[in-house]
Amino acid sequence: MMDLIVFSVGNNHYALNIENIQRIIQAKELTTIPNSSELIDGMMSYEEKVIKVLNFRKLIGLVPYEKELQKSFAVFKLSYQEWLNELKDSLENGSVFTKTTNPHKSELGVWLDGFNSYDDKVTAVLKELMLGHKHIYSLGSDALELCKTDKDKSMLNEEIDEAFKKVTHFLDIFISELEGVSNSLQKLIIYEKSSQTFAIKVDAIENIVHIEESKIMSSHEEHITGEYLELSGILDIDGVLINLIKNIDIPK
């Protein structure tokens, strides 16, 4: 039997033997290392010693996690503007409003409800963003009801515009803190190989599994992944293909 930690990076799944893993901790702010490999994000203190942090995304050629977050928030901002445009059109022209007035069911709302921050600065901005987000959706719901009887919409539009400016302001601040946001989402696997200890930054820890070695299937990528990563096959666990890592190194 083998005990494995399964983690994800993007849409890819990997497994490491648990015997090489000391701990799994939250990603944190790092100290940069001048002239280091681009695969290394920096260094950090761990149990009275300094260790390097290997970015697994960079190791396998994926875009940085922060860039994926930027794309997601660009979509959130666009959907916010579309929500406002449709709300105003409904208030001014009586057209049917087809979008949600529940802040928890919007794209941004769903994301915010699933996010926990471990960064004090991000937490402060997150609080203001969530309050503003809920407020504008409440205003939108109230405005649609009032519009059925109140024909003067100028005050409604002014209040909604002001709330929209406020929530997008905090959304922009939140986006400017994406490094702290990504640290609140990603994990560090403290990995020990021989006498060397380093951290591996991954997107998420998925599971701990116990498998028979006979379940490992061969792969065309086996033993030819790269200088710092060697695979020993793949696993199929509940329909999810998982790359089994045989060896992982960190650039000197």
41 within 8 A of 33, measured Cβ to Cβ: no
SS3 call for 25:
strand
What is d(CA 138, CA 161) in angstroms, rounded to the nearest whole number? 13
- Residue-level pLDDT at 195: 82
- pLDDT value of residue 198: 96
Q: How would residue 171 be classed by pLDDT, with cut points 50, 70 and 90?
A: very high
Tokens of 178: 């994406």
CA–CA separation, 171 vs 3, rounded Å?
A: 42
Q: What is the pLDDT of residue 215?
A: 79
CA atoms within 13 A on the CB side of 77: 15
Percent residues over pLDDT 70 in the chain: 95
Q: State which of 67-71, 151-155, 221-225 shows the largest mean pLDDT.
A: 67-71
CB 102 within 8 A of CB 145: no
Helices and strands of the chain, counted as H and E runs = 6, 10
Whether 169 shows a pLDDT value over 60: the answer reads yes
Interval 175-196: pLDDT, tens: 999 999 999 999 999 999 888 8
A 10 A CB-CB count for 62 gives 17
Count CB-CB contacts under 10 A for residue 207. 15
| Three-state secondary-structure class, residue 27 | coil
Domains of the chain, with CATH numbers?
2-62+186-248 (2.40.50.180), 65-182 (1.20.120.30)
Task: Give the pLDDT of residue 225.
Answer: 60
Q: Which two tokens stand for residue 184?
A: 């609140």
Residues 6 or more apart in contact with residue 221 via CB below 8 angstroms: 231, 243
Which residue reads 């100290």 in tokens?
A: 31
Give residue 223's pLDDT: 47
| pLDDT of 73 over the 90 cut | yes
- Per-residue model confidence (pLDDT) at position 190: 97
Report pLDDT for 148: 75
The CA angle 25-27-30, to the nearest 5 degrees, is 125
pLDDT tens string 199-234:
999 999 999 988 887 778 876 554 446 789 999 889
- Show the tokens assigned to 90: 């409904």
What is residue 94's predicted lDDT score, i.e. its pLDDT? 84
- Give residue 252's pLDDT: 81
* Structure confidence at residue 222 (pLDDT): 45
